[in-house]
Structure 1
Amino acid sequence: MTIFLIFTLGTVWGSFFGLVIDRCPDASIISPRSHCGQCGQTLRWRDMLPILSQLLSHSECRYCGIKLPYWYGILELLCGGLFVIAWLGKIDLTVCLICLASVLMVGFDLKSHAFPLWVWLVFFLLLSFTTPCNPCVFGCLIIAILTEILDLKMGSGDWLYLGLLSFSIDFFYLTLCLLLASLGGLLYYALNPKQKKAEIPFLPFLLIGYLCTLFIFN
């Protein structure tokens, strides 16, 4: 029963993350109330039950029938699973915060290839209070600032994200993470020739590299 409650709490956070990704940075996350983006109908409580509402409605709006993106339910499921894993002690608080930040920031990166700075700052402050900073964190922040000044191949957002990852991995594993992410990006380009001239979100590859270094190579 406790695990179910923890999972439900996680899905609620996932639902909130979905709202943040959907509205920011163009609209307020407070008002107006949750509504269908197509018909404008205000959603009722039964339309906003994490995972369950999307399953019961077959990922369609009950009022106008428009198809709803599946990523809402996936986001809720990921956050619910993450809360349970953390509750069972499989990961510590630092990794849990980094994974929560990753879910939110990767969502923004997939949506618009950028994320609001305040999202990164919130998790950076939380990690600063719970985990001692190491030189890699400051190194990534310095490089992020330099990318805003110089014409480097990686964006400042990628280095800010690497700064968060540095709270839980050292320089060697951070380098390995970057290497795995780069290989993943190259493989993606190789399998998708039409994307070679298009910009791709890099944070998903960094997240995969981080998880590999954390659970496979560490």
Structure 2
Amino acid sequence: MEIVYLIFWMILGLVFGSFFNVVGLRVPKGESIVTPPSHCDQCNRRLTAIDLVPVLSYIFLGGKCRTCGARIGFFYPLMELLTGVLYGLAYWHFGFTVEFIVAILFISLLVIITVSDIVYMLIPDKILLPFACVFIILRIFSPLNPWWDAFVGAAIGFGILFLIAVVSKGGMGGGDIKLFFVIGLILGFKLTIVALFISSIIGLIAGIIQLLWQKKGRKHPIPFGPWIALGSTITYFYGLKILEWYTNLLF
């Protein structure tokens, strides 16, 4: 039965990943996530069920709108697929526990802010604040050890990025700062530091590649949110093993 549950959560993740694309695209613009229904941005045709099957629709339609032939970005099915895989990974790690609920909500948040930050260079408070409130409540029922570690992690995550923003005179976005407050609630003090380190390394490498590839100037803004999301996801599932490996390497 475990494999059945695993497949179920992966499929559910694919479905929710499609919805998270909508949330990440509409909330920053102040639009409803319900109306209007999903439609092609070019010809404005309302999408039907055959257009909305996660990942498969993109493959079967050749990445194009059925009506006008406009290209559909590969980014959208990629986020659906990632959500499905990560939901399955969460179940594999935690089973049916309170921490599993924390995990899928954390994944959901990270997918949404990744879409939002890539498209608009913005991580809205309307997304962050509801998740923060839910995570505070969940950490009461699924506390870290010790219980106050989540709140210290939140303070440290917020404080470090706020300090970076002050020193760099705006080099760090407000959304990134508040996002690390939420990440701290999930990871606690030590793993928040690990997540920041991993995110910074990934972001640095990605930034160099983007600058070289697109030949843009140093002042061209590069979204940090997706790399925070990737680094935090790696840390959430494997941070303790990474920390143990690093400690053994040093001592």
TM-score, normalised with respect to structure 1? 0.85
1:52 to 2:68 alignment: no
Q: Which residue in the other structure is 1:210 paired with?
A: 232
Q: How many residues align?
A: 217
After superposition, residues 1-218 of structure 1 pair within 5 angstroms as 1-26=4-29, 27-90=31-94, 92-93=99-100, 94-132=102-140, 133-141=150-158, 151-191=169-209, 192-193=211-212, 194-195=215-216, 196-214=218-236, 215=238, 216-218=241-243
Q: 1:198: Cα distance to partner?
A: 0.8
Supply the distance in 2 between the matched residues of 1:190 and 1:88 (Cα, whole angstroms): 35
Unpaired runs of 5+ residues, structure 2, are 141-149, 244-251
Q: 1:152: Cα distance to partner?
A: 4.2
- Residues 144 and 157, structure 1, Cα contact 8 Å, conserved in 2: no
Supply the distance in 2 between the matched residues of 1:2 and 1:183 (Cα, whole angstroms): 35
- Residues 143 and 156, structure 1, Cα contact 8 Å, conserved in 2: no
Q: Structure 1 residues 45, 157: closer, same or farther in 2, change over 3 A?
A: same
Supply the distance in 1 between the matched residues of 2:201 and 2:5 (Cα, whole angstroms): 40
2:70 counterpart SS class = coil
TM-score, normalised with respect to structure 2? 0.75
Supply the distance in 2 between the matched residues of 1:89 and 1:172 (Cα, whole angstroms): 20
Q: What CA deviation, in whole Å up to 9, does each residue of 1:118-176 have, x standing for no partner?
A: 1111211221111144223145456778869x944312211111112112323333223
Q: Which residue in the other structure is 2:248 paired with?
A: none
Letter in 1 for 2:58: Q
**Higher helix residue share:** 2
Letter in 2 for 1:105: I
Q: Structure 1 residues 119, 63: closer, same or farther in 2, change over 3 A?
A: same
